[in-house]
Amino acid sequence: MDDQHRGEFESWYRALHPRLVTTLVAVLGDVDVAREAADEAFARAFERWTRVSGMESMDGWTYRVAYNVARRHWRRRALEHRLLRTPVPEASVPGPAGELWLMVRELPPRQALAVSLRHVGQLTEQEVADVMGVKRGTVSATLRAAYEHLRLRMTDDVEEPNHA
């Protein structure tokens, strides 16, 4: 890779890496897995930089690779747990913005992923669709359902004042 391409990659990496790790932490709740998955995705992007740099959504491709790496990690971990019947330590890392992100992590996995990619990862709905392997309309519907779920949850948590 020549110096110009190396500089382009480095600039892109520095801008995206922190946001990708933060997004994965919001989805997964595990900083170590998030970092490993992000690093693996960037290593693959570096190896294929000529092709990746010409993509319409380099960020979306990288998010998808990182998310798939993380999913493979969790599947291996679950398999090891079943085979070895040993307890798998639970991650307990709060989301990037406190209580709201704890509620996001309690959403169904597909909704939590969509919300995290959209708001932490700052991806467009089309990029979120590409990462998730679904249509843009599905992302819109998933986000609406997640927002409604969160709205109801936040409304339920607010107590009515007692006027006794």
- State the CATH number of the domain containing residue 92: 1.20.140.160
Domain count, the chain: 1
In a domain, 162, yes or no: no
Rounded to whole angstroms, what are the CA distances from 91 to 18, 22, 28, 118? 20, 15, 8, 23
149-162 in b/e burial notation, b at 16+ Cβ within 10 A? bbeeeeeeeeeeee
Q: What are the tens digits of pLDDT across the range 73-118?
A: 878 877 776 777 655 555 544 444 567 777 888 888 889 889 988 9
Q: Whole-model pTM?
A: 0.66
* Contact by Cβ (8 Å): 95, 105: yes
* Alpha-carbon torsion angle 101, 106, 139, 154, nearest 10: -70
- What is the pLDDT, as a whole number, of residue 43? 96
Per-residue pLDDT band for 126 (boundaries 50, 70, 90) equals: very high
Per-residue pLDDT band for 20 (boundaries 50, 70, 90) equals: very high
Distance (Å, whole) CA 159 – CA 81: 41
**DSSP 8-state assignment for residue 131:** H
- What is the pLDDT, as a whole number, of residue 14? 95
In a domain, 40, yes or no: yes
Share of the chain above pLDDT 90, in %: 42
Judged against a pLDDT cut of 90, whether residue 157 lies above it is answered with no
- What is the pLDDT, as a whole number, of residue 79? 73
In a domain, 42, yes or no: yes
* Contact by Cβ (8 Å): 19, 122: yes
For residue 9, the enclosing domain spans 3-157
Residue type, 127: E
Average pLDDT score, the chain: 83
Q: What are the tens digits of pLDDT across the range 21-39?
A: 998 888 888 889 999 999 9
In a domain, 97, yes or no: yes
- What is the pLDDT, as a whole number, of residue 158? 55
In a domain, 58, yes or no: yes
Name 13's Cβ contacts closer than 8 Å, sequence gap at least 6: 42
Mean pLDDT computed over 5-34: 90
The count of other CB atoms within 10 Å of the CB of residue 3 is 7
